[in-house]
Structure 1
């Protein structure tokens, strides 16, 4: 059973997704040649000059080494066939009511839509929230049940360990693998921490069918919300180890009144206008 978190009843406005604005929550995957460019992406010619290869369009780092279970994770590639969501009407506006938020604390999660024309009357809604400051261990994550696991406190290294560093001890059989970090393994933003979602700073973005997104590790987000006329097939890539609270954590959103909702506006006006450019 997911813990509950309370917030005020209100409506926030969705906006067309922008890589810079979305950056605190993850990355937008799109063709820089047709979407005004993406900062810091490099390109090369490929396939005997018949293709342009954009380098490292998103970051996929495995953070499961920080999980309490210590169970290794493997890359998982799944498909989600997401049907259009039913919208509510509030003061003449079409709104989506946010009832669940989830996060994947030790892995990014990438969504790549398939077969959606950029001019089609179909898009999807991404709802994200920043993470509140980490609660103390004594607070047991503010008393919510089940309390989410907090990382184990790091023990201070002894003087001997600091002097030896990552080198094996020549006087014992302790030839453990080097602990020197691999620079290639340090790419990608760090997880967001173990705090709860800050619902006062909820953001919502409308994303076109020719754009993919990656949620950063630990980013609180709503389950995928498809808007429009037809389902969208998403290829979803992430790390998983099969431990429920390592792979996915959820909270239920409680409010008094009409609930916490997102005004999706006019789909053509917000999500499709750029597709006609």
Structure 2
């Protein structure tokens, strides 16, 4: 691995920018929404297409992520080729999402997004991504992904290290 770190620019997470990697999950104005429960609740409907893959089943878990200190070295990515994987923050804190398109891993196509505490992501099957990158403090995430029957995780070490940092606000 090269000793020089390549800086990775962090973008705000948006539905449009994240399309090549999956879906943004959020109760936004573009979501199909309607009142339910006698008008006491608002339903934001069908926010992500969850894919269990052939013979898979979807499970719901909670992941508790330790905060990462910035700048953070990105040295590897993983993917789940058989099914989607969705993360929704429960702690209301922002987190970082590092991704690359499905297929052969292209380090030049790696992108980083800053997700707000009200935004989740659903990685499309095969999308390369870094494991959870919580910021600030320990954070819980609701995770919907595939349970076995067979393994569904590939990891790849990157040929060069990327440096992940947030630019100071002006």
Q: After superposition, what is the alpha-carbon deviation per residue over 1:135-181, rounded to whole angstroms, capped at 9, x for unaligned?
A: xxxxxxxxxxxxxxxxxxxxxxxxxxxxxxxxxxxxxxxxxxxxxxx
Q: CA deviation at 1:47?
A: 0.6
Q: Which runs of 4+ in 1 moved over 3 A?
A: none
* Richer in strand (by share): 2
Indicate if the aligned counterparts of 1:130 and 1:201 stay in contact, CA closer than 8 A: yes
- Residue 141 (structure 2) aligns with: 234
Q: Does 1:54 align with 2:44?
A: yes
After the TM superposition, which residues 1-277 of structure 1 pair with which residues of structure 2 at under 5 Å, given as runs? 9-32=5-28, 37-38=29-30, 41-63=31-53, 65=54, 72-87=55-70, 95-116=71-92, 122-131=93-102, 195-228=103-136, 230-244=137-151, 247-255=152-160, 259-266=161-168, 269=169
Superposed CA deviations along residues 106-144 of structure 1, whole A, max 9, x for unmatched, are: 11111111132xxxxx4210000113xxxxxxxxxxxxx
Q: Give the total of aligned pairs.
A: 169
- Unaligned ranges ≥5, structure 1: 66-71, 88-94, 117-121, 132-194, 271-277
Normalized per residue, the structure richer in helix is 1
TM-score w.r.t. structure 1 length? 0.57
For normalisation by structure 2, the TM-score amounts to 0.90
Q: Secondary structure at the match of 1:99?
A: strand
Structure 2 unmatched runs, 5+: none
Q: CA RMSD in A?
A: 2.0
